[in-house]
Amino acid sequence: MGLHPGSLPDFPWDSLVPFRERARRHPDGVVDLSVGTPVDPTPSLIQDALRAAADAPGYPTTHGTAALRKAVVEWFARTRGVTGLTADAVLPTVGSKELVAWLPSLLGLGEGDTVVHPATAYPTYAVGATLAGASALATDAVEDWADRDDVRLVWVNSPSNPTGAVLSRDHLRAVVEAARRIGAVVASDECYAALAWDQPWSDGGVPSILDPEVCGDSHGGLLAVYSLSKQSSLAGYRAAFTAGNPALIAGLLETRKHAGMIVPAPVQAAMTVALGDDDHVAAQRAVYRARREVLLPAIRGAGFTVSGSEAGLYLWATRDEDCWDTIEWLADRGIVAAPGSFYGTAGARHVRIALTATDERVQEAARRLSKDR
């Protein structure tokens, strides 16, 4: 049975339109901090790799080139402390959002099955459950689902979009152990892992679900999901991958072959180069850190409390009021943010403020906020 068009929620960003228009009336222009889309140039070495691979008359491989999959394995070992990953257990995806949306369907979930996702979460986790005809359960408490045999997929997201919170190895280990007892898959959305600001994560790194201290000596039942959009300014390339349990990857690969879900060959070549170079990632992280150091004190000085936000591209902020009142307050100052209600009822008194604007626009936002001190 096909999905009824009315089954999906309204696209949340449409409700921001009147506030964007209001913000645009500011005499010094709008500062749009609502969407986490990179604004900095794609590094030249990645652009060069894309151009060098532009002559691509044949079909690319769904599984990804051997060079790309080897680069992913080496990147996980070098930057995330992941051992035991093999190249056959890597699969490139057309950005990470399509995998988030389609994973329940690709795993064969349907009516009677439950997908668990964080209480405050990127809305596509719940959309993916809906697309498959499954149910969604929003919770951060392992005990809420640990003994339920209808739970087939558990999403974790660390660092979180929108809160910027990082899950400890102990928490991730508890999720893995509970999921394995009931035979559920754990999918870990780790797309912001390269952007850690506070200790212990800024020095020690953000833990991966594939870390041996989390999952032991087996990746059974586990998938890590990652994107190069943030760390390499590659959102326009749709360059991402998933990795983990070889049996799960093999099943996804077979379905994706039939469905034609293939990353273009030039993008695969660009990804391979991007994953082999840590210098451009460090440079981009420094750019975001500088913007955060301008925006964070200005937000706090304007009367906001910032919670979480120890990693990622956002400040999770509240004025202890309904988020739409805060959105209106910001729009009157020519600033657009994302209402926390987009991410579930638990976020209804917060707004998500992105660091993805130019240095000039971030400085301008800070100037406007400082006028209210």
CATH code where residue 227 lies: 3.40.640.10
| Eight-class DSSP state of 155 | E
Residues 23 and 150 in one domain: no
Which pLDDT score, from 0 to 100, does residue 190 have?
98
Q: Which residues pair with 91 in a beta bridge?
A: 242
Which pLDDT score, from 0 to 100, does residue 2 have?
46
Residue 37 inside a domain? The answer is yes
In the listed set 277, 310, 343, which residue is the last one of a domain according to the structure? 277
Residue 202 inside a domain? The answer is yes
Which pLDDT score, from 0 to 100, does residue 7 have?
64
| Eight-class DSSP state of 198 | S
Name the residue among 114, 311, 112 with its Cα closest to residue 198: 311
Residues 320 and 225 in one domain: no
Residues 19 and 70 in one domain: no
Average pLDDT per 10 consecutive residues for the chain, totaling 373 residues = 54 80 91 93 98 97 97 97 97 97 97 97 95 96 96 98 96 98 98 97 96 97 98 97 98 96 97 98 98 97 96 96 96 95 93 96 95 63
**Range of the structural domain that residue 336 is part of:** 5-41+280-370
Which pLDDT score, from 0 to 100, does residue 8 have?
64
Which pLDDT score, from 0 to 100, does residue 4 have?
47
In the listed set 244, 277, 310, which residue is the last one of a domain according to the structure? 277
Are the beta carbons of 318 and 307 closer than 8 angstroms?
Answer: yes
Angle at 151 between CA 146 and CA 155, to 5 degrees: 85
Residue 208 inside a domain? The answer is yes
Residues 139 and 261 in one domain: yes
Residues 178 and 232 in one domain: yes
Residue 28 inside a domain? The answer is yes
Which pLDDT score, from 0 to 100, does residue 13 have?
67
Name the residue among 209, 89, 228 with its Cα closest to residue 157: 209
Which pLDDT score, from 0 to 100, does residue 36 have?
87
Name the residue among 49, 74, 175, 170 with its Cα closest to residue 118: 175
Are the beta carbons of 266 and 277 closer than 8 angstroms?
Answer: no
CATH code: domain of residue 324: 3.90.1150.10
> Would you tell me how many other CB atoms lie within 10 Å of the CB of residue 27?
5
Residues 144 and 251 in one domain: yes
Residues 23 and 162 in one domain: no
